[in-house]
Amino acid sequence: MLDGIAGSEQQIRRYVEEQLGPGAEVDNTGSITKTFGAGGPHILIAAGLDEPGFVISAITEQGYLRLKRLAEPSPHYEFERLWQARHVSVQTYQGTRIPGVVAAPSVHLDDGRGYSSSRGNKDLYVDIGASSQEEARAAGIEILDPVTLNKKLIRLSGGQRLSTPWISSRAGAATLLSLAEAFENSSPNSTVTLAFVTQQYYYNAGLLRVMERIRADRVIWLAATGKQESQIAPASGWSSGLSDELRELSGRLGLGFQNASSSSISFDPFRTKAPWRDANNAAVVSVGVERAGTPVETVALSEMAAVARLLATFCGIEWQAPQSASTPDSSADMPLPDAAPPGAAGDSLLSLIESLVGLPGVSGAEKPVRDWIQKQVPDVAAARARTDEAGNLIIRLGKDEPPAAVFIAHLDEIGFKVKEIGHDGLLTVEPLGGLNASLFEWRPAILHTAQGQREALMTRSQNLDLGVSSSDEAKQLGVAAGDTVTVAKTFRRLLGSRITGRALDDRAGCAVLLRALCSVAADVPKINEGRAVWVVFSVEEEIGLVGAEKMAEAAAARRVYPIDSFVSSDSPLEDPASAYSTLGDGFVIRAIDSSGISNRAEVERVAALARSRAIPVQYGVTSGGNDGSRFVPYGSISVPLSWPLRYSHTAAEVSDLRDIEALTEIVTALMREELAGRP
């Protein structure tokens, strides 16, 4: 779980040095070696420390970071695209970690609904929440700072298969550490040097230095990535005596390694001599890895153990697996993501948003979010709350009569549901809501079944890997068609007042509405008096404004105020000709979108009220639909209220708390006005 791209392996180096203890040596490339045993031949076994990643190559005037890949050759043919809408960290030279996200196109702003950016896939921008180059530099950001993906360890198959970004990059080093532990207890029958080398993803500079320094008789390189099964190959050419010897040994041990005819190892392109002193005594062993080159690489513990056993036996010791605690399957009965305790009136807006974002609730499965919100409704209003047949949560304020005004935010988020269970246990899923499925590939996910939540991996072509090998195993875990899937979420503060997370659309809107409700309920002595105002948390907005349609049919109001995001083109990936509202400049009146045009006089009324209270306000034109449009055919006037949102319907939406706070202020003011019978 440690970070370390080529040339910036300090974290992982410190860890390895601590594990090796006395006797470890570090050379000018940062590579670490430790030698065991005595006598000949001298065997060198090397593995890399670094992972693929990027360094900052430029900082734009708007505060975005441009990137240069440090992975030659690329681990995956779509490597850059795989980073879009990902949460990343920047390691500054001063040693601080700055969180960020990689910009991605907003689905709503793609006119052709082809869900592709107008920019190339290699045109990556990192958003750290800065609004200028000066702000980014003031945070310690500089050119050459490394950028790495955030990591989360996922356990599948009862904990016997592990997945995290670039795990194959560290599988070899982990295997060498287990060998080092074994060699401390039982000396090999010859001289063996274990090498933990740097820059495996940048022309293998560390490996070249170690081979020049050690001058070993035989060299075994533990390569990253590769096939699903562990392999043995010659280091150069089509055959070598050492690779043949290792193949024969693996056969005798019954390890089932695959034979590879050649191995591609990248070295300095300006090098004029062969890297191997004796190619006949050089071989490559790769630990089996699934989905090589993607952020959900998966390694089976059995494959790592097989490689360790092969190498230990080759060095003349009997392999004994290190004593360690068993790794339980943590996916069964997973708790819901962290949520703050009840008491919304006393919680900050930030904590409310974080709690709501963490709750699962794709369209049609909003119950966890609805239940949580209902617990936060203040006592004075709780008695007037109900859930209708569609699943909308309705809190009725004022006189018990048809509402004069409805304030509505939607509970649901985009996600997936299980379409079918394959014979091999792989689940086919389909999207719920408008999303670019390619931006959700190769990510951790959570499957919600009747028996609880389980960790899983979203792979290509909308497939979900639960870690089982048959449909029967999947069904035994409670998996059924129709179960919902949420892609794993991360909620983080960026620089200043910026925040990022999955489902800010529309959990931030729910937080605004809940906060306004609590504020009004605390100030109004008799909540059951005054003009009728309904506060509604709707369902299934993302799949066609379904809950709002049911509400509108039952209770059309004079006015409706939908609280939802304003999908903004405030991003270097978008055309600013429309949908342009800047983060940090206030809430937005969503005057025109794909579902309708707001009454201009109503837009100006709300804008005037905001200005009279010194609430920063913007208004504009964007794409997408909103719940309020469903009320218009029944006689309502819709005034959509929003906040600017970047990278809509991705796993890395970005907003500014100042805008959401401004939205809370105007919603609270309007709710009071409507209750008081004004205007």
Cβ atoms 568, 438 nearer than 8 A: no
Other residues' Cβ atoms within 10 Å of the Cβ of residue 152: 15
Cβ atoms 223, 46 nearer than 8 A: no
CA–CA separation, 125 vs 62, rounded Å? 11
Q: How far apart are the first and last CA of the chain?
A: 57
Residues recorded for the chain: 679
CA–CA separation, 435 vs 502, rounded Å? 12
Sheet with 191-197: strands ordered across? 25-26, 32-36, 191-197, 42-48, 218-223, 282-286, 231-234, 258-259
Where are the strands (E) in 60-171, listed by range? 65-70, 87-91, 97-102, 125-127, 146-149, 154-156, 161-163
Instruction: Report all structural domains of the chain as residue ranges with CATH numbers, in order of start.
Output: 10-51+166-314 (3.40.630.10), 53-149 (2.40.30.40)
Residue bearing tokens 């920047």: 90
Phi and psi dihedrals of 606, rounded to 5?
A: -65, -40
Task: Supply the pLDDT for residue 256.
Answer: 82
**Closest alpha carbon to 530 in 388, 394, 376, 405:** 405
- Tell me, what DSSP letter sits at residue 362? B
The whole-model pTM stands at: 0.90
Instruction: Give bridge partners of residue 593 from the DSSP assignment.
Output: 596
Task: Supply the pLDDT for residue 525.
Answer: 62
Helix (H) or strand (E) holding 406: strand 405-410
Q: Are strands 282-286 and 231-234 parallel, antiparallel or unpaired?
A: antiparallel
DSSP 366-426: -HHHHHHHHHHS-HHHHTTEEE-TT--EEEEESSSSS-SEEEEEE--B-EEEEEEE-TTSP
Where are the strands (E) in 577-616, listed by range? 587-593, 596-597
Task: Supply the pLDDT for residue 523.
Answer: 73
Task: Supply the pLDDT for residue 329.
Answer: 41
Task: Supply the pLDDT for residue 113.
Answer: 41
Helix (H) or strand (E) holding 518: helix 504-523
Query: What is each CA distance from 234 to 245, 282, 311, in whole angstroms?
Result: 11, 6, 16
Low-confidence ranges of the chain (pLDDT < 70): 111-122, 262-263, 272, 322-347, 461, 524-527
pLDDT tens digits, residue range 7-30? 999 999 999 999 999 999 999 999
Asked, as a colleague might, if the bond just before 576 is cis with ω within 30 of 0, I would say: no
**Closest alpha carbon to 443 in 435, 369, 420:** 435
Q: Are strands 231-234 and 218-223 parallel, antiparallel or unpaired?
A: unpaired
